[in-house]
Amino acid sequence: MEKIPTIKEIAKRLKVSPSTVSRALHGHPSIGLVTTMRVNKVASELNYERNQTAIFFKQRKTLTIGVIVPDFSDAFFSSALSGIEDYASKKNYNVFIGQSLENPDKEKRILETMKNHRLDGIIISISKNTTDYGVFEQLKKYNIPVVFFDRIPGMEDIHYSACNLQSGMLQAIDCLIDKGHRSIGLINGPPQLLASKDRLDGYKQGLDKHKIDINTELVVSSDLSSAQNHYAMRRLLSLEQRPTAIVTFNDYVARDAMAVVKNSNLVVNRDISFISFANSPIWSFMDNSPLASIEQFPKEQGVKAAEILFKLIDHLIEETPSTAPIFHRAVFDSSMVSHKVNFMA
């Protein structure tokens, strides 16, 4: 088996100390140009490769961050991942990516793996079923900073990047009221998600603004599965006074809800109008779309989350003392994007 060349072998050939070779390979200014060139020439001849693990140990960083999202295939999260990877690449960092598939146990296993590999930091959008946040408290003990994005846990003292969902919801309600709707339903997400609470708060504020009493029958929740989305829509259709318009948790819920409407021999956006969240590219492949969708800026959220994480990583490496921790939070105002509408039964 061929022996792997070392710094000591280069030093022996050049009759210099190993520390001189090490400094020359790292371009240290204390080493002259001629010596640096000789060292690099011999290193090239021997096919020497730096011991990256040793460098990481010395620098106290792995040059790798972890990112966990619920689902790679979701256009929202793939866009966020793109933003994070672009930013990390500019920092010469690698990205270790995992998907929870909405499974809290899998999410926890991925976090444990990232912790055991001592990644420099983690960005995560939690699963819709995550309710135990103990693992995030544990990561603090290992000085592994965590930044949340989009799906934020109900914890105090956290770093995050997210959208102000209430601003988009208010625009949606205003739009539907302007079109003459007074009976407006909401198909929301899982109650434990902070994003669901924000949507509900915006919904209530929007109706209150127009002095419309809230009918609790018009508000239903879904676990975001197609089966639950279909059930939620059928439940609204079964009401004696069914809604004439509905705001959905996201575009995928809207897609499922609209399918139920069409199967009920009703016309989407004529008999029942829709506005959804996320402004997903799926609508360009569909025969019809909602009246509008609320833009949540996934790539921008991802970039901002990465920016915050690297600030935290730099702070840990510099070991700057702080009497009180600073919690970084970036919030984007969501905004409604109108769609070209085709009426289809």
Q: What is the pLDDT of residues 221-270, one digit of tens each?
A: 999 999 999 999 999 999 999 999 999 999 999 999 999 999 999 999 99
Per-residue pLDDT reduced to its tens digit, 24-41: 887 788 888 888 889 888
What strands, in cross-sheet order, belong to the sheet with 64-69? 94-99, 64-69, 121-124, 146-149, 159-164, 329-333
The Cα 129–Cα 284 span in angstroms is 30
Fold of 164-297: Rossmann fold (3.40.50)
Q: Identify the bridge partners of residue 65 per DSSP, sorted by sequence position.
A: 95, 121
Q: Say yes or no: domain 60-162+298-330 is CATH 3.40.50.2300.
A: yes
Per-residue pLDDT reduced to its tens digit, 44-61: 888 877 655 455 555 557
The dihedral sign for the CA sequence 209, 210, 213, 217: negative
Q: Where are the domains positioned within the chain?
A: 7-50, 60-162+298-330, 164-297
